[in-house]
Amino acid sequence: MNDPHIWWYVTRASAVIAWVLLTLSVIWGILLSTRLLRNIDNPGWLQDLHKYFGGAALIVVALHVASLMLDGWLHLSLLEALVPFEAAHRTVPVALGILSLYVMVAVQGTSLLMNRLPRKAWKAIHYLSYAALVLVAFHAGLSGTDVGSSWYRILSIALIVVAAVAVVLRVLVRSKGPAVALVAPATADAAPTLAASFPGQPVAAVGTGAGGTATLARTSVIPLLEKRTMVISSITRQADQVLGVRLLPLGGGMLPAWFPGAHVNLHLPNGLQRQYSLCGDPADRSHFHMAVLRTEFSEGGSSWIHDSLGIGMTLQIDGPLNHFELEAASEHLFITGGIGIAPIKSMIESLLARRSWRPAYFGRSRTSMAFLGELLSRYPGQVGVFASDELAAPADLSGVSRSTADVYCCGPESLMAAVAAVVPPEGMHFERFVPIIRVAQGTPHSVSITAARRSKTFGLAAGQSILDALERNGVAVSGSCRKGVCGTCEVRVLSGSPEHLDSVMADIEKDQLGVMYPCVSGSRSESLVLEV
């Protein structure tokens, strides 16, 4: 013990840890694909663990190889450590370990490139994880120095049995999404009350009024939008005047990770761009699912989709982009009206089943409320339904102000204004479909705009759009709605004082983040320096 073989101990420890991590990575991948824990927890954390276990396993394997080369007893050369069947000591077992290393590198490398690879190719390589697990098991059993130890036998048997059970379950269980109920449920005998949705809380009437603002915590600042081609795989009728549209990536492959509240920007063949919230399960990255309401005074977007969209048609989309993120909280209240259910539905899909959350769903009638049948079927007794044709008087929202929950609201401006009137700004989160009317303060004046990344400065006449001026001067900035609602044109402000006229989030939040939306916003200062 006076001269411990430190690298021998590192070799033993790293081998065991790598085996455990690889097994956990495979198991977590199986849990993701089978959704066995869907009713226990949010699949998002499974994705994170799967990714971290796989990466950590590869790092520990690299440490294992390095320690083998540094071990004073083995004296493995680089050739023996990295080329199969070159090692003089236990040639075959060592070769199995080397092959498993290369399989792990291939799996991890293609995972990083999954959005650029055909889905079939990526899946084929990803399934090699099972082969890596088998190779590691034989490598450990034939070359491990602790094979005869009781603890090693117990650990080996446990890892092999758990992995085998997980693989069997993967074969037997297939992930199936919940069937969507396309028929509206029967009208309840008695109209529900908001007090029933929020027990113990007294319940001011939902009316019209000016919209307020709310704080929205953000984890990302500048959107990185990627344009991709999607193909329409199905079109279903979710409610009166509401179509459910499912889009698959053209050529296959995995879609980028997105989080509840996200939306995408559709480039329609008629030249229009429209934003629609994603209403599917964020854990399922094989497709995007949207709900499109035919608006009463359509400007050509929703009417084109309802009249002209067909299965097999391809569309260009940007995104996803998110300014309505679901934040961690001990309790959530969802208040939604009409098509505002779309982003709220993705939030419900992602919440832990054991967490405290309750939605209140407002609409003209049950037949006009998208996903209502599905929600009532999956969450019986939990969804408060407030259909106007069933209520004798407007629902009372005053009790919401006494709740300690974070409130998420999406729907008509009248509903959001009523909710914002009774909920403190720090606990309020909402997303608008249409901009609120905001007027610039002070006398209009010219502004000097500097695009820092281009080292380009140009003048902006009073009343001109900053976004238009950027585009005219060759500075590419993503822009979609051009009404200050979607947030696509977000840019970082390096110096100067913007005048916020958009409806994306609270002005104080934008100033804290150091961003502005140049499609409608202006400048209080005589110059603005933007990170574009």
DSSP assignment of 196-217 equals HHSTT----B------------
> Please, what sign has the CA dihedral across residues 100, 103, 107, 113?
positive
Pick the CATH number of 447-530 from 1.10.3720.10, 3.10.20.90, 3.10.20.30, 3.40.190.10: 3.10.20.30
Average pLDDT for 371-381: 89
For residues 134 and 488, the model is more confident at: 134
Give the list of residues 6+ apart from residue 179 with CB closer than 8 angstroms, or none.
374
pLDDT computed for residue 237 by the predictor? 93
Average pLDDT for 417-436: 77
Q: 427 pLDDT exceeds 70?
A: yes
By C-alpha distance, which of 268, 216, 273 is closest to 479?
273
246-295 tens-digit pLDDT: 999 988 888 888 888 888 888 888 888 888 899 988 878 889 999 999 98
Answer whether 22's CB lies under 8 Å from 132's CB. yes
Torsion angles phi and psi, residue 334, rounded to 5: -110, 120
Question: Sheet of 456-460: strands edge to edge?
Answer: 456-460, 447-451, 527-530, 491-495, 515-516
Tokens of 118: 């055909």
For residues 503 and 386, the model is more confident at: 386
Q: What is the mean pLDDT of the chain?
A: 77
**What single-letter DSSP state applies at residue 369?**
S
Q: 396 pLDDT exceeds 80?
A: no
CB atoms within 10 A of CB 190: 8
Tokens of 197: 């949705």
pLDDT computed for residue 245 by the predictor? 94
Answer whether 459's CB lies under 8 Å from 528's CB. no
What gap in Å lies between CA 23 and CA 17, rounded to an integer?
10
Tokens of 151: 């603890």
pTM: 0.54
Q: 161 pLDDT exceeds 60?
A: yes
Average pLDDT for 387-411: 81
pLDDT computed for residue 116 by the predictor? 60
Q: 528 pLDDT exceeds 80?
A: yes
Average pLDDT for 330-335: 86
pLDDT computed for residue 289 by the predictor? 93
Residue % of the chain over a pLDDT of 70: 81
Read off the pLDDT band of 126 (50, 70, 90).
confident
Query: 321 burial class (0-12, 13-18, 19+ CB within 10 angstroms)?
Result: buried
The topology (CATH level 3) of 194-214+329-431 is: Rossmann fold (3.40.50)
What gap in Å lies between CA 166 and CA 31, rounded to an integer?
8
**For residue 18, what are the CA distances in angstroms to 75, 137, 211?**
21, 11, 55
Burial of 377-391, coded b for 16+ CB within 10 Å and e otherwise, reads eeeeeebbbbbeeee
Distance in Å from the first CA to the final CA of the chain = 62
Q: 220 pLDDT exceeds 50?
A: no
Q: CATH top-level class for 228-321? A: mainly beta
Average pLDDT for 459-464: 84
pLDDT computed for residue 191 by the predictor? 36
Strand ranges (E), 51-95: none
Give the list of residues 6+ apart from residue 373 with CB closer than 8 angstroms, or none.
180, 181, 182, 183, 184, 185
Structural element, H or E, at residue 229: strand 228-239
What is the Cα Rg of the chain in Å?
A: 28
Tokens of 432: 């608008």
pLDDT computed for residue 200 by the predictor? 36
